[in-house]
Amino acid sequence: MATSTPVSIPSKMKAWVYGQYGKPEDVLRLESEVDVPEVNDEQVLIKVAAASLNPVDIKMMAGLFKATDSPVPTVAGYDVAGVVVKVGSKVKEFNVGDEVYGDIHEHALNNPKGSGSLSEYAAVEEKVVALKPKNLSFAEAASLPLAVETAYGGLERAGFSAGQSILVLGGAGGVGSLVVQLAKHVFGASKVAATSCAGKLELLKTLGADLAIDYKRDKYEDLPEKFDVVYDTVGESGRGNKAVKEGGSVVTIVGGRPVIPPAFVFDVTSTGTVLNTLKPFIEEEKLKPVIDPKSPFPFSHTIEAFSHLQTGRGTGKAVIYPIP
């Protein structure tokens, strides 16, 4: 059991809430009298310093997963970074005052919490958070959890290993930018190719790509070489199948459309274990957050941040910081 000195916690908080399904600009509201969530025995209460946005936020808000969603009203948000202000009686790893980060929903699409990270406080299971690497700011830390766990988990599920080659579709996005780095600097890829628009090709190279492909100019499936793994973050697994070696794997994180083998859909399960595994690589700067140049967006500009995410032209992650 963690021991700690109590911190004064208010009963109400500010949070971005939606009470019906729709587009963020239509349904998301900043409310100031939302109940601060209670913690159970296995949870910590985090005073949120920063959060980041993910495409899944928009999909959940749109009602695309009503059948498995928690009932509205819902406080939006998955990724969090902040300070522990209260711990449950069975929490072992964390104490009040610890700086932590994580994706607060263990299962992104299946019965997520009703109270997310776009709020002043978040109640989170101990097992889905980790101590924040000391070299990261709260904004940088908040950009990582869901994206880096998705990137790492997809590579593992695809059986990617040292000496293999990989093609990353959408290499400058939130997940793709981390797949490129992980493949090169953590898994030990022999060759990393990645696609983006022309303006982001240099970024791909700085992240570790050996071959940066302008997707508007070049058809990657027509390359003479094929790859051991194709990691699709943009919804092109069918084309990805044409770029993979026989016996290789095509992992896609874009569901909701037909996927033909060898392609398969990967859905992440949030766990602090992955964050702990990657902590040395983050602290050695082999794995770096990629934050959109328009970020951070202040808490009051969250809808503007969602609008930017919806354009599909962002780089890395859109981060909300500071949160009051």
Domains recognised in the chain with CATH numbers = 12-132+291-320 (3.90.180.10), 147-265 (3.40.50.720)
* Exposed e or buried b per residue across 276-312, where buried means at least 16 C-beta atoms within 10 angstroms of its C-beta: eebbebbeeeebbbbbbeebbbebeebbebbebbeee
Instruction: Report pLDDT for 255.
Output: 87
Burial of 131 (0-12, 13-18, 19+ CB in 10 A): middle
Q: 6 preceded by cis ω (within 30°)?
A: no
Instruction: Report pLDDT for 4.
Output: 58
Q: What are the distances in angstroms from CA 64 to CA 68, 113, 199, 313? A: 10, 16, 32, 22
Q: With H, G, I as helix, E, B as strand and everything else as coil, classify residue 150.
A: helix
Instruction: Report pLDDT for 168.
Output: 98
Instruction: Report pLDDT for 60.
Output: 96
Q: Which residues of the chain have pLDDT under 70?
A: 1-6
Instruction: Report pLDDT for 192.
Output: 98
Instruction: Report pLDDT for 7.
Output: 83
Closest C-alpha among 226, 227, 189 to residue 209: 189
**Contacts of residue 241, Cβ cutoff 8 Å, sequence gap at least 6:** 230, 250, 260, 262, 263
